[in-house]
Amino acid sequence: MPETQELRPFASEGAFFRAVLALAIGGFSIGTGEFVIMGLLPEVARDIGATIPQAGHVISAYALGVVLGAPALAVLCAGWPRRALLITLMGIYALGNFASAMAPGYLTLNLLRFFTGLPHGTYFGVAALVAAALAPPGRRARAVGLVMLGLTGATLVGVPIAATLGQVFGWRAAFVFVGLIAVAAMVAVHRWVPHMDAPAGASPLRELQALRNRQVWLTLGIAAIGFGGMFSVFSYIKPTLTEVAGVPLSGVPFVLALFGLGMVSGNLVGSRLADKALMPTIGKVLVWAMIVLGGFTLAAHHWITASIATFLIGTIVAIGPALQIRLMDVAGEAQTLAAALNHSAFNCANALGAWLGGVAIDAGLGWTSTGWVGALLGVAGMGIYWLALQDQRREAARPVQALQ
């Protein structure tokens, strides 16, 4: 499929980067809001009168909001102008975080985190479409990667700042901080992203056509399963570092910062590789994931090698921009839904990886068993990737056979 062209690329390189920066600020807000709660669960639990596992339900509630909100909002808002939709989605996100900061108890907080997660996937999907449409020729994946840099950069910068605010002023201050960034993103998008109409004829019915496309489902399967390995390890990285690698509690934030640095590096390198060879990049990153995750089971026994392995696990996010572009390429006219579903798939990967890693640990296989779980998920992702290639070859061969 040819590149999506909803608008001519900017004549000015500076104008293009300002638009991408505006989109990335929104991603920075979302990334900070999604991950900061993981480091503040004890404070949340004490304040709302719940146990730490019960407080962890707010993470699941947010993820459920992402999974359900991405397709629902993408379909319902298919005909909206792009800039207006992005500003509205950021407004919902800001409102959700401000309201979360005032939640009086367990049930209210869970409902508000579910509400806050609703615009997550649609924002990133639409932002990716806008960035790709504005990108110079041959740089679509890099443009999407720059938008995603806001999300990955949040793990390195935004989360530590918000967590510090939460420790000093209470966990509610962290959500206020996230909401303020979302407001800043609304202003930046309004100023720096040009008006872009929805594609001609866009409608909810046309968006739903994406669900009839096998390549869309296969690509989503790669994301939901093949990417799950990263989460199988990262979900239990703190106890693995302290119990197996012997990392002191004071050293855990340093190692987690290495994970964030790995995500930033992987995002930049992966998007550049995807612009050169899209499908081969997806396959190579899946192989890389199997090697890194399998190697973690050995590397986790010493703090130096465990730290290096944690950085390398972060680089697996390199598959993100490639999968986003792949979905946009195979979705035909149902661009918005397909692009948004990518982030639903990533949240499914989060849930699947964390669950299977927990199953292995509960079975008595040890903290390092999460690495083998991750490697097996990479193998499963590679199987889906192979099916996608075979299906693509069969489709390409049909017109030739028809002419014979």
Give the DSSP per-residue string, 130-169: HHHHHSPTT-HHHHHHHHHHHHHHIIIIIHHHHHHHHHHH
Q: Which residue has the tokens 């990334």?
A: 31
Please write the tens of the pLDDT for every residue from 332-365: 777 777 778 888 888 888 888 888 888 888 888 9
- Band (89; pLDDT cuts 50, 70, 90): very high
Domains defined along the chain, listed by start: 12-198 (1.20.1250.20), 205-395 (1.20.1250.20)
Overall average pLDDT of the 94-110 stretch: 94
Overall average pLDDT of the 11-39 stretch: 85
- Band (11; pLDDT cuts 50, 70, 90): very low
- Non-local (6+) Cβ contacts of 341 within 8 A are 70, 71, 74, 121, 125, 210, 216, 220, 327
Overall average pLDDT of the 211-224 stretch: 88
Phi, psi of 103 (to 5 degrees): -60, 130
Burial of 333 (0-12, 13-18, 19+ CB in 10 A): middle
Q: Is the pLDDT of residue 96 over 70?
A: yes
CA distance 286 to 291: 9
Q: Is the pLDDT of residue 83 over 80?
A: yes
Task: Please answer whether residues 183 and 191 qualify as being in contact, where contact means their C-beta atoms are separated by less than 8 angstroms.
Answer: no
Q: What percent of the chain has pLDDT over 70?
A: 92
- Band (219; pLDDT cuts 50, 70, 90): very high
C-alpha radius of gyration, the chain, whole number: 21
CA distance 17 to 35: 26
- Predicted confidence at residue 392, as pLDDT, reads 86
Please write the tens of the pLDDT for every residue from 144-181: 888 888 888 888 888 888 888 988 898 999 999 999 99
CA distance 376 to 260: 23
- Band (226; pLDDT cuts 50, 70, 90): very high
- Predicted confidence at residue 192, as pLDDT, reads 93
Q: Which residue has the tokens 């960035």?
A: 131
Out of 60-74, 175-189, 272-286, which region has the weakest mean confidence (pLDDT)? Answer: 60-74
CA distance 286 to 382: 6
Task: Please answer whether residues 305 and 350 qualify as being in contact, where contact means their C-beta atoms are separated by less than 8 angstroms.
Answer: no
- Predicted confidence at residue 46, as pLDDT, reads 87
CA distance 316 to 346: 12
Q: Is the pLDDT of residue 206 over 70?
A: no
Q: Is the pLDDT of residue 288 over 70?
A: yes
CA distance 134 to 193: 10
Diameter of the chain measured on Cα atoms = 73
CA distance 116 to 65: 7
Overall average pLDDT of the 379-401 stretch: 84
Q: Is the pLDDT of residue 50 over 90?
A: no
- Band (2; pLDDT cuts 50, 70, 90): very low
Burial of 316 (0-12, 13-18, 19+ CB in 10 A): buried
**Torsion angle in degrees (nearest 10) through CA of 108, 113, 119, 120:** 180
CA distance 147 to 20: 6
CA distance 378 to 370: 12
Instruction: Tally Cβ neighbours within 10 Å of residue 95.
Output: 17
**Average pLDDT value for the chain:** 86
Task: Please answer whether residues 6 and 165 qualify as being in contact, where contact means their C-beta atoms are separated by less than 8 angstroms.
Answer: no
- Sequence length of the chain is 404
Overall average pLDDT of the 40-59 stretch: 80
What DSSP designation does 333 have? T
- Predicted confidence at residue 55, as pLDDT, reads 77
CA 324-326-331 angle, to 5 degrees, is: 100
- Predicted confidence at residue 401, as pLDDT, reads 52
Rounded alpha-carbon distances, angstroms, from residue 267 to 24, 31, 44, 142, 381: 13, 14, 31, 9, 19
- Predicted confidence at residue 389, as pLDDT, reads 92
